[in-house]
Amino acid sequence: MRILVVEDERKIADFVKRGLREEGYAVDAAYDGEEGLFLAKTNDYDLVLLDLMLPKLDGLAVCRKLKEAKVKAPIIMLTAKNTVRDKVLGLDSGADDYLTKPFAFEELLARIRAMFRKTEALTPTKLKVADLELDLVTHKVMRGSKDIDLTAKEYSLLEYLMRNQGTIVTRTMISEHVWDIDFDTFTNVIDVYINYLRNKIDSGFKSKLIHTVRSRGYILKEE
């Protein structure tokens, strides 16, 4: 999952970015409303965390413009304004949820999870390909009867591959959904992580699930 944080207070933005990345999310940040609007309209995000009081363009205006542009990513507003009127204005502008500062990071994570459950109400809580199973709630991964221990980034990569099972995903697609906007596409990091996954997912099993499609990318499927 890829999240955009639009927050002008850099300490807060950096804190949220760091915490979300530790949870396995790909995170970009914008520090004013105009930059946030541009990034949200030009990139494919799964969620936008939007501050209300922003320079250049305030959060209400950003929210309205995103809805007018039919950007599908849900929006959670993060703001120090906590009156009922402020909340009503935020929700009426198109926000899907509203969290006031200061907030506990655990609550933010819970609201993000709840938002993803709401937007993917018809999506099962588990992904399964052959004998490989990924639990989206507990983050537990198993192949057959074997528990697979993954890092946060390995888990995010595997989740993306499994959500696109049977479909070729390019390195650009992977970088956009698993890494963030600062990712250097000229490095071999994606190939390295694919090899990490192969060693954990396919090593020791007769049937291989992760396949390289020469000059195009990767595909996860049964042989």
- Alpha-carbon distance 142 to 123, whole Å? 19
Q: What is the crossing angle of helices 189-201 and 152-163, to 10°?
A: 80
Which among 8, 57, 28 is positioned nearest to 175, based on CA atoms? 28
pLDDT of residue 86: 75
Model pTM score: 0.63
- Alpha-carbon distance 134 to 126, whole Å? 6
pLDDT of residue 121: 54
Could you tell me what percent of the chain has a pLDDT over 70? 94
Q: Residue 134 in contact with residue 158, Cβ under 8 Å?
A: yes
Q: Report which listed range, 116-125, 151-160, 167-176, is most confident.
A: 151-160
Domains and CATH numbers, the chain: 2-119 (3.40.50.2300), 126-220 (1.10.10.10)
Burial of 213 (0-12, 13-18, 19+ CB in 10 A): exposed
Q: 134 vs 185, which has greater pLDDT?
A: 134
- Alpha-carbon distance 211 to 34, whole Å? 41
Secondary structure (3-state) at 213: strand
pLDDT of residue 113: 85
Question: Is residue 185's pLDDT more than 90?
Answer: no
Q: Residue 115 in contact with residue 95, Cβ under 8 Å?
A: no
- Alpha-carbon distance 47 to 27, whole Å? 10
Burial of 30 (0-12, 13-18, 19+ CB in 10 A): buried
Which of these ranges, 55-59, 129-133, 159-163, 169-173, has the smallest mean pLDDT? 169-173
